Amino acid sequence: MAERRAKKTSKKIEGYLKLQLPAGQANPAPPVGPALGQRGLNIAEFCAKFNDATKAMEKNAPLPTLITIYADKSYKFAVKTPPASWYLKRAAQLEKGGKTPGRETAGEVTVAQCREIAREKMKDLSASDEDAAVKIIAGTARSMGLEVRQ
């Protein structure tokens, strides 16, 4: 008996758009409005969907968002975790990283804090296991002028 497979209909992708938006704070003002408007997408609908999808996250956390735009003017978006630098600045209680990393120390983080950040960012990192992810986060910390302590 032959099985019938449903025909997979795929939409033609017109392009991608990368934005970094604060959690639960998307509005039609720049950068969202102009970026979506010039591609003919419904700005208010995107803002409502994005804010609904990110309402449980920490307010004002910068979220990298990849929007896939299709030829029929529909779209889908994927929200990633905040950048490692944001987590590290929060852990070290700093406004910004060091001006000359490697020469001056702006603050410090512990390996335990790096491990906690690595667990949160694991799905967005290209690490095979948690130890490799911790090394990635520690490297980011050092490049920001933070000292990584035991």
User: One digit per residue, pLDDT tens: the chain, 150 residues?
Assistant: 445 555 555 788 889 999 999 988 888 888 888 988 888 888 999 999 999 998 888 888 899 999 999 988 889 999 999 998 899 888 888 887 778 777 778 788 889 999 999 988 888 888 889 889 999 999 888 888 888 888
What is the C-alpha separation between 150 and 147, in angstroms, rounded? Answer: 10
The DSSP call for residue 110 is: E
Whose tokens are 């906690």? That residue is 116
Rg of the chain over all Cα atoms, to the nearest angstrom: 20
Q: Are residues 72 and 124 in the same domain?
A: no
Alpha helices in 1-110 (DSSP H): 32-37, 43-53, 84-92
- Domain hosting 45: range is 13-79
Q: Are residues 90 and 58 in the same domain?
A: no
pLDDT of residue 5: 54
Q: Are residues 75 and 96 in the same domain?
A: no
| pTM greater than 0.85 (yes/no) | no
**Domain boundary, last residue among 30, 52, 79:** 79
Q: First and final CA of the chain: distance in angstroms?
A: 64
Number of CB atoms found within 10 A of residue 130's CB: 13
The domain tally of the chain equals 2
Q: How many CA atoms lie within 13 A of 5 on its CB side?
A: 3
